[in-house]
């Protein structure tokens, strides 16, 4: 996996999140058809750019909920 692929995958995740308020990792994988490592690499990219919030799901502490950072 190279930087171009990670960036493209980050775009897929951003678009999926833009259509929803927030999504879990499983939902992101289903919406984007990406594998675990591809999702996590793309989320790292988006997190580094301060584009996403990643929080633990209070209902299931093993799941993360991801949402886009709202413009200030």
Q: What is the mean pLDDT of residues 28-35?
A: 96
Task: Round to whole Å and give the CA distance between 11 and 57.
Answer: 23
Closest CA to 32 of 71, 57, 6, 70: 6
Q: What is the mean pLDDT of residues 43-61?
A: 94
- 72 pLDDT higher than 80: no
CATH code: domain of residue 49: 1.10.10.10
Q: Containing domain of residue 30, as a range? A: 3-68
Percent of the chain past pLDDT 70, that is, above it, reads 99
pTM of the model: 0.89
What total of structural domains would you count in the chain? 1
- How far is the first Cα of the chain from the last one, in angstroms, to the nearest whole number? 33
Which tokens belong to 26?
């499983």
Q: Are 25 and 39 in contact (CB under 8 A)?
A: yes
Task: Round to whole Å and give the CA distance between 9 and 51.
Answer: 14
- 13-29 pLDDT, tens per residue? 999 999 998 999 999 99
Q: Are 43 and 64 in contact (CB under 8 A)?
A: no
């Amino acid at each position: 996996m190279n930087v171009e692929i990670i960036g493209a995958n980050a775009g897929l995740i951003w678009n999926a999140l833009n259509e929803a308020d927030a999504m879990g990792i499983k939902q992101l994988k289903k919406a984007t058809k990406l594998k675990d490592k591809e999702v996590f690499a793309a989320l790292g990219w988006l997190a580094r750019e301060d584009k996403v919030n990643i929080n633990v799901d209070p209902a299931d502490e093993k799941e993360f909920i991801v949402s886009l950072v709202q413009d200030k």
